[in-house]
A and B are shown apart, each in its own frame.
Chain A
Amino acid sequence: MTGEAVVSLRGVSKSFAKGGVTALQGIDLEVAKGEFVSLIGPSGCGKSTLLRVVGDIVEPSAGEVTVNGKPARRARLDRDYGIVFQSPVLYDWRTVAKNIALPLEMLGWDRSRRSARVEEMLDLVELTGFEKYHPWQLSGGMQQRVSIARALSFSPALLLMDEPFGALDEMTRERLNMELLRIWDETGSTVVFVTHSISEAVFLSTRVVVMSARPGRITSVLPVELPQPRTFETREDPSFFELVTRVREALHATGADEVEEALPLDEGIA
């Protein structure tokens, strides 16, 4: 690993008082600046919880979390990261433009600065012309692009994404994968990406972190050395299949039988 760590987790554990569930145990992970790291694992392996620990939305029971070299809480108060959820979580009563401007309002940006940035963001996610629309007038894929634009609007160094494309159809998902990589390339941000699609993890990432369930632990970390930038041809590259197979084997090694049902059938050989 090269470069400074944007995210650093040391000995992080999380157990929930209710039912005494151990969601995370002994997590050590460093994410360097400019990396695209995917967390993959069976349902209930705590990958979403891990993402929330990084964002200081969930407090760890033990361990140390730093973001940009600061404690996670400080980083959150400094608005060091943007977050995207599986559902777009747009405010129905706000237009697309005002949804994107929401974090900017909280940062106290004035109106002209906000609208200039909103325009840039709409251009970035290719939604120019839709600023006056309300969320319910957009397709699921467009809504998620608004959500990404909102997360990036204040140029955070880190982007946390919790299965952002999990609810979309395969075609839309592949298109948004490409778009996300373009945005990642253009903004130079660091991404931590939760998914349970093996091919998505391999296609997008510079590293794939495989987790096991109950308790949630990191079982292996696989570097993805596919050439950048990734293209539609990347998915047809033999080394892509090889990596998909390796991630799958790593997942099976965790004894996670639930994984099979959580994955689309068209993974791997086309």
Chain B
Amino acid sequence: MRGRSAFERVVVFVLVLGGLWALWEGYRWLWLRTGWTRPFTVNEYTLPHLHDIVLQLGEHTSTGDDLWLFLLHAALFTARAAAVGFLFGATIGFLLGVILAQFDVLRRGIMPYVVASQTIPILALAPIVVRGLGSVTVGGSPPPDWLRVSVIAAYLTFFPVTVNTLRGLRSADPRALELMHSYAARGWTVLWKLRVPSALPYIFTALKVAATASVVGAIIGEAPASIQEGLGGAIINFNQYYTLDPENLWATNLYAALLGIAFFLVVVLAEKVVVRRAPERLV
């Protein structure tokens, strides 16, 4: 195989990390020293020291916990909403893609609305949906906060999955379709044995996009609906006290980024397990 050794990967990772750190701190140092104000003035608020952000994780917050633990709880709350939303959105997206691929009439009729759904600013839609669902009662009580938030994550997730499923299902080799025809295969057999496996690389490309989008969706779902427990709540909160502790907000962003990366890696791992394909033919 042409893959690099684990040692090389670690070296590259450390080098890139070091490079980013050097860029950040070098920029900060140079701008502070020269007093340059373009494109933005550098000070403790716009560009704190990276080590200050990391050290801040050990500080107490107003809740009594250390920041790292507080953010870990927040990240887990957001992760649950994002994961449920991702699974839900990916399932809906896949099924919608399959249905639209099977029925041409539906595809022409429904696709414009699917596209339109993504042009509505999520920031405007999220509070309406999350608050609205708060007044719905299911079995005597409104759905829990994280479940309402997961709807927004699902909303951002389904679209890329639908589009790529549709594209992938239509990517099957015409000769392979003739082959299935020669076996007198039924539509569902062709779908299951040929079209879906052909579509998998496309679907996984969409799932990678959707994985990070679901985290963003969950954060955006929490933020304007004043749900406090997650990273979205933490962002709103720390934003208000930014002049006091700018590192708190930066640290929150760090957690959000790590959560997005974790989601992405899970999809990459799943792809390696599921998709059996010549390395150069992976989309």
Contacts and interface: CB of A to CB of B under 8 A. Distances in A.
Contacts of A55: 182
Given A91-B197, A93-B200, A93-B276, A81 B173 contact: no
Contacts of A89: 173, 175-176, 179
A136 to B, nearest CB: 3
A106 interface: yes
Interface string A123-163: 00000000000111000000000000000000000000000
B276 A57 contact: no
B175 A57 contact: no
A87 B175 contact: yes
Interface string B154-196: 0000000000000000000101101101111100010001100
A76 B182 contact: yes
A92 B184 contact: no
Interface string B253-283: 0000000000000000000000111100100
B278 to A, nearest CB: 3
A89 B176 CA distance: 6
Contacts of B200: 93
Interface centre among A57, A77, A78, A93 (most CB of B within 10 A): A93
Contact of B183 (A79, A87, A91, A134): A79
A3 to B, nearest CB: 24
A92 B278 contact: yes
A79 B179 CA distance: 11
Which label, helix, strand, loop or mixed, suits the secondary structure of the B interface? helix
Interface residues of B, number: 20
Contacts of A241: none
Contacts of A87: 175
Nearest to B180: A106
Contacts of A79: 183-184
A102 B184 CA distance: 12
Contact of B189 (A77, A106, A135): A106
A47 to B, nearest CB: 16
Nearest to A73: B184
Nearest to B184: A77
B139 to A, nearest CB: 43
Contacts of A82: 182
Interface of B: 173, 175-176, 178-179, 181-185, 189, 193-194, 197, 200, 275-278, 281
9 contacts: A85-B179, A89-B176, A93-B197, A93-B275, A94-B276, A102-B193, A106-B185, A106-B189, A136-B281
**What are the 4 closest A-B residue pairs judged by CB atoms, nearest first?**
A136-B278, A93-B276, A89-B175, A77-B184
Given A52-B178, A93-B197, A134-B278, 7 more contacts: A57-B178, A76-B181, A78-B184, A83-B179, A83-B182, A89-B179, A134-B276
